[in-house]
Amino acid sequence: MPAEPRFSAPARVADGTNGSAHAAVALTGVTKQFGKITALDAVSLFVRHGELMTLLGPSGCGKTTLLHLVAGFLIPESGEIAIDGQRITDVPAYRREIGIMFQNYALFPHMSVAGNVGYGLRMRRIARPEIDRRIADALALVKLAGLEERRPRQLSGGQQQRVALARALVIRPKVLLLDEPFSALDRNLRASMQVELKEIQRKLGVTTIFVTHDQSEALSLSDRIAVIADGRIRQLNTPHEVYRHPSDRFVASFIGDANVLRAHLERIEGAVASVALGAARVTVPMRTLEGSAVGSAVDLFVRPEDLRVAETDAAAAAHGTIAAQIYQGGHIDLYVDAPEVSSGRVLLRVPSHEAASLRPAGTRIAIALAADVAIAFRSA
């Protein structure tokens, strides 16, 4: 899928054979097969210098495969991979200068923390005093100074993760690859590690490819997100653009919570259309509605925070019965049965301070649209 023009400039440049010189990592038409399974299907991806690019997609969509191709653990059937403008498609992993952090960290159990972090430096035959200095710097960077002599198994999960990060960064890699690094951590630790990773990545300015299947993690960390499904990139853009302007139905439902509401196409005006939902009207782009005629049914995707409890019936998009009210601190999640627009429950996310006026479960309410722009797809 092509990205929005605004964000796809480097990709356009890379159409030629040497255009990828502008990208830190460039994949051009890369295909990887395992027997009959096509794990990646003619994928092109251009990562800019210093950016944190997230590969987001469901399990089995090819994220790890893509990372392993960049790292050199796999060779593609076709296509080219370049780093800093140099073709490395068949350069072995140990000559690629890439730092990688594995999901289970893969710390060498028979080496100390210092032994692990210094491994890449020893392989480069760097002088001992410099190795020691760089190990100390790297451990200070990840806030683990003083644990040099510990064994990996004597560390907590969070500490092991930091060692793995230090080990990958100490070689000053051209690219840092992270494969679902936070999936094994508990929720609180995950959040603080995310912030820390982002800080370290900014500070060092290292080009980073981050793999996750967790859309909220992708939204909070990334400079840009590549949404992948079935071995293809569906959309590549900033978190905000991907969230607000998903390119297709898959992206719209995979990223963030979305209510799918039965509406109909009322008017087409060039590139945009007007969709009617009850008494409400909302503008949607026509690009996702190719071929739909005026009057036909469409699926309107509305974020929970774009729905409100209507004060009056005048602008009501739908009516429903409150099924459950879940207090989330800053906001309240309202689950509403509204059979006229959705077979499932409709989710409204309202700020807590507005909730005081709400009535308990079982009361009938009118739902209004809080946004005048949304996205719709042809009814499935």
Partner 1 sequence: MARASVRSGRAAVRPFLRLFVAPAVLCALGFAAALAAVMQYSLRAYVPGSLEAGGFTLANFAALIRPLYARVFLDTVWICFLTASFTLIVGYPLAYALVHARNVALKSAILVIAVTPLFLGEVVRTYSWIVVLGNNGFLNSMLLKLGLVDAPMQFMFTEFGVITALVHVTLPVMVIMLAAALSHIDRDYERAAASLGAGPIRVFLTVTLPLSTPGIIAGVTTAFAWTFSAFATPQLIGGGRVNMVANLVYQLGFASFNFPFAASLSVAGLILTFAVLALMRAAASPLERIRQH
What is the C-alpha to C-alpha distance for residues 37 and 232, in angstroms, rounded to an integer?
A: 13
Amino acid (1-letter code) at residue 319:
H
Residues 337-376 that bind ligand ADP (CB under 6 A): none
Partner interacting with residue 94 (select from ligand ADP, partner 1, Mg ion, none; CB below 5-8 Å by kind):
partner 1
Partner interacting with residue 168 (select from Mg ion, ligand ADP, partner 1, none; CB below 5-8 Å by kind):
partner 1
DSSP states along 60-99: TSSHHHHHHHHHTSS--SEEEEEETTEE-TTS-GGGS-EE
Minimal distance, residue 101 CB to ligand ADP, in Å: 14
User: Cβ–Cβ contacts within 10 Å for residue 171, how many?
Assistant: 19
Partner interacting with residue 99 (select from ligand ADP, Mg ion, partner 1, none; CB below 5-8 Å by kind):
partner 1
Q: Which of 38, 84, 102, 321 binds partner 1 (CB under 8 A)?
A: 102
Beta strands in the chain (DSSP E): 25-34, 37-47, 52-56, 78-83, 86-87, 98-101, 175-179, 207-212, 224-229, 232-237, 259-269, 272-277, 280-285, 297-302, 307-309, 318-327, 331-337, 345-351, 364-369, 375-378
Toward ligand ADP, which CB reaches closer, 61 or 165? Answer: 61
| Angle of CA points 134, 136, 141, to nearest 5° | 95
According to DSSP, the β-strands at 345-351 and 331-337 are antiparallel
261 - beta bridge partners? 300
Residue 100 binds to partner 1 (criterion: CB under 8 A): yes
Token pair 């071929």 is found at: 291
Residues 36-95 that bind ligand ADP (CB under 6 A): 37, 39, 57, 59-65
Minimal distance, residue 153 CB to partner 1, in Å: 11
Q: Count interface residues toward ligand ADP (CB under 6 A).
A: 11
SS3 assignment, position 325: strand
201 in Cβ contact with 208 (< 8 Å): yes
Toward partner 1, which CB reaches closer, 89 or 220? Answer: 89
Q: Which of 46, 119, 210, 301 binds partner 1 (CB under 8 A)?
A: 119
57 in Cβ contact with 63 (< 8 Å): yes
* Residues in contact with 68: Cβ distance below 8 Å, sequence separation at least 6, in sequence order: 74
Q: Which of 1, 2, 108, 344 binds partner 1 (CB under 8 A)?
A: 108
Options 83-91, 103-111, 155-163, 324-332: segment touching partner 1 (CB under 8 A): 103-111
Residue 112 binds to partner 1 (criterion: CB under 8 A): yes
Toward ligand ADP, which CB reaches closer, 57 or 173? Answer: 57
SS3 assignment, position 305: helix
Partner interacting with residue 181 (select from ligand ADP, partner 1, Mg ion, none; CB below 5-8 Å by kind):
none
Q: Of all helices (H) and strands (E), which one includes residue 42?
A: strand 37-47
Q: Which of 28, 44, 54, 64 binds Mg ion (CB under 5 A)?
A: 64
- Taking residues 160 to 199 in sequence order and writing x for each that binds partner 1 by CB under 8 A, - otherwise, the string is -------xx--x----------------------------
Options 4-12, 50-58, 59-67, 356-364: segment touching Mg ion (CB under 5 A): 59-67
Q: Residues in the site for partner 1, rule: CB under 8 A?
A: 68, 71-73, 92-100, 102, 104, 106, 108-112, 114-115, 118-120, 123-124, 167-168, 171
Q: Residues in the site for ligand ADP, rule: CB under 6 A?
A: 34, 37, 39, 57, 59-65
